[in-house]
Amino acid sequence: MENTVLCVMPAEARHKEKLEAAGAGCRFIYASYKTVTREQIAQADVILGNAPADMICASPRLKLLQLNSAGTDDYIRPGVLNPETILLNATGAYSKAVAEHALAMTLALIKKLHLYRDDRKAGTWSDYGTVTSIADAVVLVVGLGDIGAHYARLAKALGAYTIGISRRPKEALPYADELYLTEQTDEILSRADVVVSFLPGNGQTRHFYDTARFARMKEGAYFLNLGRGSAVDQEALLQALAGGHLAGAGIDVTDPEPLPAESPLWQEEKLLITPHVAGSFHLPETFERIVDIAAENLRAWLEGGSLRNVVDFTTGYKR
């Protein structure tokens, strides 16, 4: 029986050629996140891309869903996918883009570039005094997955002392001077000059960074979040910044998104905000990697081979 593959990613001709070569013998339908219909989703045996979760409705026909995102929050909720549907994410595609964005935010904060940028609007010639260096700084990476590992490599290359935290034990890594498990986070926070979080959004990570955890961080430390906004209690973050405990923070994710214009986060001068743009397809190479992953998995699924990035529904992580 012919399989129907629905692609909701912005595929160009060369991408379609690659996908159709991997899915030889399948019927392909192309749409976009905004134009796809419930009827198209109901017809699909395979979906490539982040189709609207509320349209899937536990489709009994859907056998394979390959996301174009690393995050899986919307798709692991009860009732979205049939328990028999295989869910795959795009882990491995975003490491360069998000890690470099995180590093750029780190350097901007410790050199106070965000403050000088703000002064440009008023034409103010200011001197904000001393800065710090990433060389020899203790950088704590919480969430040492694909993106976190890439960031740790970059920080290590600039001379940082890197500590990694992950949910599972890892063997010794050349880019991590020390390794710990998630449950040991509170023991390590006070040592870090910079805390960078790449935690996903799930029930275990919601408000992982609360008043108590910000208080445990070293006075004058910097905090960055490029995982999910739900991992941070935003009121607690504001208090830690306004009270002077943290020297600065950078976030690419918020809760909710978009961040409302009336949110007090916008007014905190020590907070650098970008509107969830570290990932997506802003770096063109990212999308090329996603198409490669999708093609590889489609071919493997059709041939009964091993699949890459199978997601565990209970954690939202790849297995």
State the pLDDT confidence band at 216, using cuts at 50, 70 and 90: very high
Is pLDDT at 204 greater than 90 in this prediction? no
Listed by start position, the domains of the chain span 4-93+283-303, 95-273
Q: Which two tokens stand for residue 181?
A: 């498990």
| Angstrom distance (rounded) from CA 89 to CA 65 | 8
**pLDDT at residue number 104:** 98
Cβ 194 vs Cβ 225: under 8 Å? no
* Least confident range of 155-164, 202-211, 286-295, 298-307: 202-211
- Convert the pLDDT of each residue in 224-269 to its tens digit: 999 999 999 999 999 999 999 999 999 999 999 999 999 999 999 9
CATH number of 95-273: 3.40.50.720
For the beta carbon of residue 125, count every other beta carbon within 10 angstroms: 7
| Angstrom distance (rounded) from CA 140 to CA 286 | 25
- HSE of 116, CA atoms in CB hemisphere, 13 A: 11
State the pLDDT confidence band at 166, using cuts at 50, 70 and 90: very high
Question: Would 4-93+283-303 and 95-273 be classified into the same CATH topology?
Answer: yes
For the beta carbon of residue 172, count every other beta carbon within 10 angstroms: 8
Query: What is the third-level CATH fold of 4-93+283-303?
Result: Rossmann fold (3.40.50)
- Convert the pLDDT of each residue in 95-142 to its tens digit: 999 999 999 999 999 999 999 999 998 899 999 999 999 999 999 999
The number of angstroms, rounded, from the C-alpha of 146 to the middle of its chain's C-alpha atoms is: 10
